[in-house]
Amino acid sequence: MPSTYIPQHLIHAHLPPPPSIPNAIPELRIISDEAVPLTDEDYAEPLHPDHAVSAIHDQPTNLLARSIYNGHVLELRSFNAVISKSKPRGLDGTEIIRIFFPEQLRALAQGSIVISKRDKRLFITVVSQANIVYRLDFPLGTFRPNTEDRFVFTTKGNEDWYEEWEVPEDVVVTCSGISPWTALDENTLILGGGDGGIVRVTRSGYWSPDSGQWTATHHRASSRLRLPSLFSRSANTDEQIISFAQHQKTDHIPILYTLSRDRKLRTWNPSNGACLRTIDVRSTSQDLVVRGSQDSSSSTLLEDGSVNMIRVVPHPSSASRYSHLVIAFSSTPYNPISAGTFVIYRAATSSHSVNDLIPAGEKICSAASAGAELRGYEILPTIKSEGIDSGWKLAVTWDKKGSIFGETITVDDIFQFTTYIENNDALLLSEWQQIASSNEIESFDAAYFDNILSSDPPNPADPEDNGDIPAAFIQHLFHPGRFSILTLTTALEDYIHQLSRRNQAQQIATSFASLSKRFGGVIGSQIEMEFSPQTGAPVVEAYRKKLKLDWLGVWANIRDLDKQARWPISTILVDRDLLILTREGISTSLPDEIAGLVDRLGASDIDPNQFLELSEGSLRKLYPAIAAPKARASAIAVSMAGHYISDILKNQDAAENTGTALDDLVNATADRLATITHEPPEVIAGGIWDDHVEELLSENDRAAVRRILSESPSISRALNESLSIIEQVSVPFSTNEVEEQIWSGSGNALLTSAIAQLIETRFNLARSVLLVTFFHLFESRDPSYEDDEGEELIETLAKASVVFHRYKVLKWVSDQTGEEARERSKTGKSNKRKLNGGGGDDLLAEGLGSLRMRESGEEDSGLDSDSFDVGYSLIHSLLSRQLPQSVQTGTINRFSETAITFLSSINPISPDQTDIEAQKFDIQLSYRILVDGHAQLAGAITDMYPLSAGIAYVRGRAYLECRMVEEAVKFLEKAAAGCKDGSLEPILTSTSGPNGLSEYYRHICRVFDDQGADQPVVYFGQLAIQSNKSDVGFIKDLWTKVFLASIALGRYEDAYSTLTSLPFLDLKRDFLGQLISVMCENNEVGRLNSLGFIGFQKDVEEMLRFKARNSDPLRFPNYYKVLYSWHIARGDYRSAGEIMYLQGRRFSEGKSSKIPAFELSAMQARSYLAAINALTLVDKRNAWVSVPGVPSKALRGIKRRKVSRYIPEEEFSKDKKSVDIISLADIEMEYTLVLSQLRLSSHIPDLHEHGITISPQEVVGLFIQRGMFDIAQSSAASLKVDMTDLFQALAARCVELSRLSEHNGDFSAATFLQSSPVTARLKGSPSALSIKYLQSALSRHDSSNTNWKYRQVVADTLFDMNKDKMKKWQMPVWLVQWEMERDPELWIGKALKYGWVEEALGWTLDLVRKATPPELLPPNKSDSANLPYNLIDRVLKASGEGDEKDEKNVQQKSTLLKEEVERRIKGLQKLRN
């Protein structure tokens, strides 16, 4: 019999849900010729499509085959708890695949997945309900069988990946229908017949689908004649075969066992189909019936063949005369005492014969199994290692009222593989032992939720806030591992389906960051708050009742779906581990660790009295702390007393009527321990006891607790021993690490469940110990009494408080989901400035092994291997990314041992720890939660500890991740104290040493910099610089961060101060350029000019000039304007004028810009005007600028170039560029030209469209053409353009206006007179005003400097246009006077030239008369007064020619002229005489 007691419990892990993306899982389809295709209803009824109908696991290939979609789809996926670290290169394909069949499949058979090394193929065989055999094949690729490799499915290059063959109808009829089947190899199947016989189906030929030849042969179990069934293709008779088992030993006859409904156990030779033996399976060993005897009991088995009821166990010793054992189950479904009996036979085979089955014994099922249905059983081999002997065990899985129920029993007394000595073993070693399983879901009923949820809203001031109801249900629904994602999603879809179409569409269209958020947003969304018709106040109670009922309906649906999902299908044995395949997951049994065992004993889950009967040797190896009888009794007493008090509190309502008193006690204790650190532990405990326990314990309860504790020799010692049990976290035997393997997603999921179970049981025990410590302290003695025993008890209380607190924290961690990281990834909550090469946390990597913060920019799939979504559990998320566990060899159970190793790695309690304050491993755990992307959870876990440097650091980082910068700064500043006491060293190794404080501030500065929080960057960066004790070059990057952060904050004065204090000359110029650029880009030019830049002014000017030259002045910022304001602010007007002139030149070159040319010209004009204004303030000698290049094209013909002499030869080298000297007058000319073009653009719309350069002469001419004489004069004067054309046009306009009728004429030609300041205010006819305007223009612009040429051109124009005397044009008097005074001969000559004879006579007559009379001339000086007698002769001559000789007025004036001339001649003659 076994010598080691190993109790067990179940854990469960759900398979990953199917992806929400359609066709994410590759699908293959069997081509069907059926006329009616399958519908969604065929796939969805009666089970959920993704719930398995049957399932098998093949260990050599690590493949899990599941028949889903109600038997129409075969899903194949890799499933193994551990995988190879180095994955071999395989084919392109997938590790999971789904194959759709045209009809339902029969239950999958073990052995149907076979690898052919010869063909290098994987063959999978299935049989449908229509008796069609399907043979699938896939290439092996690089897959290595019997390793931890993952199989990759691919059909690439293999179009014919399946073949099908229908079992002949005559064979089916002959055997009375087909029942369950089994596969012997890839070419041989055995189909069970309804007549108790078998159908041997074989395939021959090459492996390819088109090369196979199939045959089916029926082999009868007896020679009795049976009438075939003509109405059923499936067997349903008493003789129907329901189970198969095989045994094959080298050089022995292969054996096939079959069990039929009539309890016939037959032995077959599968090679030829011969039935070798037949026996009735009975509950006694004497009823052996050989082949050919009469039928035995008429009772039939009710099994349908979905569960294999035969097992074959090879004999471990080759020297035994028996080769194997056969175990068969005989059920008694209606027996109220037992569900059935396991009958065991011994069998012997040889190379030529098979002996009869010899009854070895039987195991009657336990009373607890009555009414249950068998779902599978396995024979667990014995474990013999390091003094452990578990014995051979029969592990049975039942379906009891829809839930898994497991139990084990040792069978060494029947197997007798070794010498067996019968002794009086304890019942716990010899009788059925139940495998513990959690049933907490059953306790979460409507009454439970009514207890934890009040009818009043949490905030009476806000009746609309009823979020406590969704929060409570979501917390229970999304408890890690409680319900699968598929179950939750299905229930939510069912709920949405029941909504109205309007609400359906709204909920489907709404996007949520996570499934839990979707639950909160959808459920109850259609419920509206009602308002009282009398008061108008919201009826909150009715609303909350409806909302709660809505959630309770969803909860009930999820519970029902979960029962279906957890329903056991079959059992398998993988590497000595019992796995229970459920419809949607995997369950496995683990041995209890010592704290869990003690907790189960306290809850009476295991009979304490039977446990006390165990020998010390049966516990010494696995449970050494409780091996001794006294230690065992003490541990049981403490655990039972604690459970007794817990049960009393659990049945009492909390003080606030929400939850139980036990919950209230636990939460209050955790809160007080986390916040109150200055009070003694006995004071804290006294307050908790008085507030939450004292009044709830009756005297009878106290007496019962005392009675329980009296079983312990010493309560104080019992408490210390119990605390030692909890504090000790280690495997009690040596284990080895398998370096080449790692845990897969499936393994991590099961490991997560194991860790959660481990933490929960240890927390329960810690709670019990704390309660008993409270009770013993306050019920047994006065805690204020000081003696050795009192001091010891106070120390025990402190330890119990620490143990409870630490496991309360771990329990909280195990209860959290990992959705936060996924939500942050989806919603982009993390607002990082940039991603540093190491993720922005290089210092952290030093302390925690390359651990770093996962950035939001990084892709976060949230998936472990096997496509396991880690969002359901925080622990799984940590296992997959931050705390991966090494694979152990597993002396007893690798899941249990790895779970203990995990708990040991985070070391929740230090030896003899009595201080609640966070220790090294507490800080590391909280920080790992943070860096895994769960900032809110990291902040919450720090709230459970008293504030310390390490806790402050993690809390500050958590606040920072949540964008609560002010709080982050506060706590991270407090955390700096950890550099002195070394509390930060576990996560920031660089904070140790003499420069640790500076390193810490530097690290914090970098963290804030990554988050884009600039103000803390400046603050902590300056602290790091100030506290630095190492080489100044080591903090070079800090200066950069502080400077850039100051700029980002707009604190340019601080940035300038940093610049001036910078000890690195090479950075100063870079910082200077950055400061200038940012200030200009933020339009802070005024602040830029106000900065002194002492010692940097030349650099500033050079940088601004460089930016101006190499930037577009049309874009912001305009560095020309910046430089202009810089020079103006410093009184350098000449440089200011220069930069504005250069800007104008740049605008003139920007004709290809998208900005309209008109706007560019306007900008150019403003630039020139600014330059003019600036240069006007400079002394005239210095009012010039030098610019590179050549002068403006438009002014080339006007500008006079000064020629230099004695120019050095080096100035003509290739690298020298020509320089143009621009004076103020030149700029004014260019300004006038541009401004004139702008004025013309309103009259000539396309003037700027084609980039044509217009000369000044052309500009003036365009003004003249449009009658803009004022502008034309000013432009011509500024541009130094000759005005001849202008005055010619103006004279012509005067003549034109004089010829217009005052009443009927068109005076549009006179509009310039109205706008001109010369004539605008004068009254008169247009002709008179125009003459006045002409007079004024000549007065301003015609002088001796112009050699009076404008008057001449005006005279020529007037003379030429008025040759016709009939038009009666009168030459302007002022013009006549000007000309007669200046040059009368020229004037009279022009009159004669243009035919103005009469006027010439008059002007000549005036000339003669104005001459000095002869009598006034001095004697003998007759030639002192000169008259143009030749001109006079010409005038007189002209008067006698042509039409003038006939004009009376002409002749009169001619006569007068002659008389005057004669008179003057006579007078002159007298003077000579």
pLDDT category, 464, cuts 50, 70, 90?
confident
Residue 1150 has pLDDT above 80, yes or no: no
Residue 424 has pLDDT above 80, yes or no: no
> What's the pLDDT tens digit per position in 1425-1455?
677 888 888 888 888 887 777 788 888 888 8
> What's the pLDDT tens digit per position in 341-358?
999 999 999 888 888 899
Mean pLDDT of 999-1007: 92
State how beta strands 585-591 and 8-14 pair. Answer: antiparallel
Question: What is the rounded distance in angstroms from the CA atom of residue 47 to the CA atom of residue 565?
Answer: 10
Whole-number pLDDT of residue 1209: 64
End-to-end alpha-carbon separation of the chain, Å? 184
Whole-number pLDDT of residue 1358: 85
Mean pLDDT of 450-458: 85
Whole-number pLDDT of residue 246: 93
Whole-number pLDDT of residue 844: 42
Matching residue, tokens 């000169």: 1426
> What's the pLDDT tens digit per position in 1301-1316?
554 556 677 788 887 8
Nearest CA to 1270 out of 1216, 1340, 1222 is that of 1340
- Alpha helices by DSSP H, listed for 463-539, are 468-477, 485-498, 501-509, 515-522
pLDDT category, 1422, cuts 50, 70, 90?
low
Mean pLDDT of 610-621: 91
Whole-number pLDDT of residue 1217: 64
pLDDT category, 230, cuts 50, 70, 90?
very low
Per DSSP, the residues of 756-776 read HHHHHHHHHHHHHHHHHHHHH
What backbone torsions phi and psi does residue 394 show, to the nearest 5 degrees? -100, 115
pLDDT category, 792, cuts 50, 70, 90?
confident
pLDDT category, 780, cuts 50, 70, 90?
low
Instruction: Let me know how many helices (H) and strands (E) the chain has, helices first.
Output: 52, 36
The beta strands (E) that lie in 870-993 are given as 886-888
Residue 298 has pLDDT above 60, yes or no: no
> What's the pLDDT tens digit per position in 559-613?
999 999 999 999 999 888 899 999 999 999 999 999 999 999 999 999 999 999 9
Query: In this predicted structure, which of 113-122, 400-409, 835-844, 1363-1372 has the lowest mean pLDDT?
Result: 835-844
pLDDT category, 842, cuts 50, 70, 90?
very low
What is the percent of the chain with per-residue pLDDT over 90, rounded to a whole number? Answer: 39
Mean pLDDT of 175-181: 89
Residue 518 has pLDDT above 80, yes or no: yes
Q: Are the C-beta atoms of residues 391 and 426 closer than 8 Å to each other?
A: no
Whole-number pLDDT of residue 1203: 47
Question: What is the rounded distance in angstroms from the CA atom of residue 896 to the CA atom of residue 717?
Answer: 29
Residue 500 has pLDDT above 80, yes or no: no
Whole-number pLDDT of residue 834: 44
Which has the higher per-residue pLDDT, 137 or 1? 137
Mean pLDDT of 1120-1137: 90
Residue 1472 has pLDDT above 80, yes or no: no
Question: What is the rounded distance in angstroms from the CA atom of residue 240 to the CA atom of residue 1363?
Answer: 141
Whole-number pLDDT of residue 1244: 75
Which has the higher per-residue pLDDT, 1160 or 288? 1160
Q: Are the C-beta atoms of residues 476 and 868 closer than 8 Å to each other?
A: no
Question: What is the rounded distance in angstroms from the CA atom of residue 59 to the CA atom of residue 493?
Answer: 36
Contacts made by residues 1097-1104, CB under 8 angstroms, sequence distance 24+ = 1097/1130, 1099/1069, 1099/1072, 1100/1072, 1100/1076, 1100/1126, 1101/1126, 1101/1135, 1103/1072, 1103/1073, 1103/1076, 1104/1076
Mean pLDDT of the chain: 84
Question: What is the rounded distance in angstroms from the CA atom of residue 990 to the CA atom of residue 971?
Answer: 19
pLDDT category, 1277, cuts 50, 70, 90?
confident
pLDDT category, 37, cuts 50, 70, 90?
low
Whole-number pLDDT of residue 234: 55
Q: Are the C-beta atoms of residues 1431 and 1404 closer than 8 Å to each other?
A: yes
Residue 296 has pLDDT above 70, yes or no: no
What is the percent of the chain with per-residue pLDDT over 70, rounded to a whole number? Answer: 88
Q: Say what angle helices 788-814 and 681-692 make with each other, to 10 degrees.
A: 70
Mean pLDDT of 1399-1411: 84
3-state secondary structure of 1080: helix
* Torsion, CA 304, CA 307, CA 313, CA 314, rounded to 10: 80
Whole-number pLDDT of residue 1221: 86
Mean pLDDT of 1100-1129: 89
Mean pLDDT of 858-886: 82
Q: Are the C-beta atoms of residues 11 and 753 closer than 8 Å to each other?
A: yes
Question: How many C-beta neighbours within 10 Å does residue 1442 have?
Answer: 12
> What's the pLDDT tens digit per position in 234-261?
556 788 999 999 998 888 899 999 999 9
Query: In this predicted structure, which of 836-845, 1081-1090, 1220-1229 has the lowest mean pLDDT?
Result: 836-845
> What's the pLDDT tens digit per position in 925-947?
999 999 999 999 999 999 999 99
Per DSSP, the residues of 56-69 read EEETTTTEEEEEET
* Torsion, CA 947, CA 949, CA 954, CA 960, rounded to 10: 100
* Structure-token pair, residue 1400: 């010439």
3-state secondary structure of 1295: helix
pLDDT category, 134, cuts 50, 70, 90?
very high
Q: Side chain identity at 1026, as an amino acid letter? A: Q
> What's the pLDDT tens digit per position in 194-223?
999 999 999 998 888 888 899 999 998 875
Residue 269 has pLDDT above 70, yes or no: yes
The three-point CA angle 1140-1145-1147 to 5° equals: 95
3-state secondary structure of 345: strand
Q: Could you tell me the pTM of the whole model?
A: 0.80
What backbone torsions phi and psi does residue 189 show, to the nearest 5 degrees? -120, 150
Nearest CA to 280 out of 341, 321, 226 is that of 341
Q: Are the C-beta atoms of residues 316 and 418 closer than 8 Å to each other?
A: no
Residue 852 has pLDDT above 50, yes or no: no
Q: Side chain identity at 298, as an amino acid letter? A: S
* Structure-token pair, residue 425: 């073993």
Question: What is the rounded distance in angstroms from the CA atom of residue 286 to the CA atom of residue 490?
Answer: 54
Residue 232 has pLDDT above 70, yes or no: no
3-state secondary structure of 895: helix
